Amino acid sequence: MSRNDAAPGTVTAPPGRIRRMLFHLYIQCLIAVLLGAAVGGLWPSAGADLKPLGDGFIALVKMFIAPIIFCTVVHGIASMGNARAVGRVGLKALVYFEVLTTVAMVIGLVVVNVVKPGSGLHVDVSTLSAKGLPPEATTAHEGFAEFVLAIIPATLVSALTGNEILPVLLVSVLFGFGLHASGEAGLGIARGIEKFSTVLFTLIRWIMRLAPIGAFGSMAFTIGNYGLGTLRHLALLVGSFWLTALFFVLVVLGTVMRLNGLRLLPFLRYIKEELLIVLGTSSTEPVLPRMMAKLQHAGASKPVVGITLPAGYSFNLDGTAIYLTMGSVFLAQALGIHLSLTQQLTMLAVMLLTSKGAAGVTGSGFIALAATLSAIPHVPVAALALIFGIDRFMSEARALTSLVGNGVATLAVARWEGELDEDRAKAVLRGEIPYAPTPAPSAVTAELDPKETPAPTHDPVPAAR
């Protein structure tokens, strides 16, 4: 008997609907994360050996990050009506980043002092060793002058071949202003860069189909290498950190969204695919191109997105900010070191510097914590050995919090600039205007006027003209 001839009253699962659900990237990533956790828990050695799957996926995406940031920022600046608009957007974004980073650190500081997850451990400093820590955590860290000088690349091209985001931003901003000031001479280059970015986004869409494989490998490695039992030893620190990050997202970022006429939960549903990819890979870098496209689709103008979101990846790491305060005070508590309020505030001031530039690479928060401890005399760097084993279980929360924070920041700055179509944003977040990547061929093969080109994104500022 065929499916159409089923007896009356028989309930059958519509295969077409199941296939459509499995086609969604977030469903594939969710299944991959669960399978990875199962493999890591049942066959730890096999799970630990799957680490190259996650590393390979992240490496594939990372090779496109610098050129995508360059193209987006350059075209965004070249499309602005005047240079003052660029400076205004950048200034508002930086002020917002500093305020929210400080708020995140203060919340983490309050929670770790109230919960006191490290009290009672009574760890002997003489028993600690830096052996086994990553080399980056034990090397001398740069001061403020070295930090600023490191932003300047050796050559124009080397900024695009390195691993740091800040040099890419510097070169992109300078090049964008150069095109903006060149008039007709820079017009053709600006259009070429826009079309080149379309090719890059097409390639990224292809690579993102491998996201479930990367998420599977990363999760299997995490559980297989560290084991679920590791969490029991420092469950209070891990649990309090996750709850603090959740509080920051729901309360602080939720308030920011409300003040800008939007709601947080619909926004989280809108970026659920990106959140699951970040959960699986513990890195925000793989979803940067998709977040740019989705924020433009949600009504934020392309220039504001192109300036604010990449800058947020270096200057607005809310999850890392919470981790730095909670991690450093936890280590002090575990070693029986009493930190006065003045000392803790001094650490907070240092963290405002060390948290910058720790872009969304897995483990960058741990290195930033090492930089903080090496810059202050209160807690020895060797104490990092106490939390090295569980750092991976907190890296997901760091990355998720930072991703949501940067998305909210971009929408907020766009609204303050009058570059957010609020009606469209509300309709998109309600699901009335589904996100669908625009096919690239028409944008590459035809020379269309920007005003006549249909696009799912809102860009009130015409392309460079």
Q: Classify 420 as helix, strand or coil.
A: strand
Burial of 116 (0-12, 13-18, 19+ CB in 10 A): middle
Q: What angle do CA 20, 22, 26 make, to 5 degrees?
A: 110
CA atoms within a 13 Å half-sphere pointing along the CA-CB vector of 283: 24
Distances (CA, A) of 311 to 138, 191, 315, 320: 28, 23, 6, 15
pLDDT band at 355 (very low <50, low <70, confident <90, very high): low
Report pLDDT digits (tens) over 23-70: 666 677 778 878 888 888 888 888 888 878 877 877 787 787 778 778
Q: What's residue 264's pLDDT?
A: 94
Residues 108, 323 contacting (CB under 8 angstroms): yes
pTM listed for this prediction = 0.68
Q: Between 405 and 282, name the one with better pLDDT.
A: 405
Distance of CA 182 to the CA centre of its chain: 34
Residue type for position 107? I
Averaged pLDDT for residues 280-309: 85
Q: How far apart are CA 453 and CA 461, in angstroms?
A: 14
Q: Between 128 and 119, name the one with better pLDDT.
A: 119
Q: Classify 362 as helix, strand or coil.
A: coil
For the cut 50, the answer to whether the pLDDT of residue 3 exceeds it is no
Count of H helices and E strands in the chain?
Answer: 25, 0
pLDDT band at 220 (very low <50, low <70, confident <90, very high): confident
For the cut 50, the answer to whether the pLDDT of residue 455 exceeds it is no
Q: What's residue 445's pLDDT?
A: 37
Q: What's residue 228's pLDDT?
A: 60
Q: Between 138 and 375, name the one with better pLDDT.
A: 375
For the cut 50, the answer to whether the pLDDT of residue 451 exceeds it is no
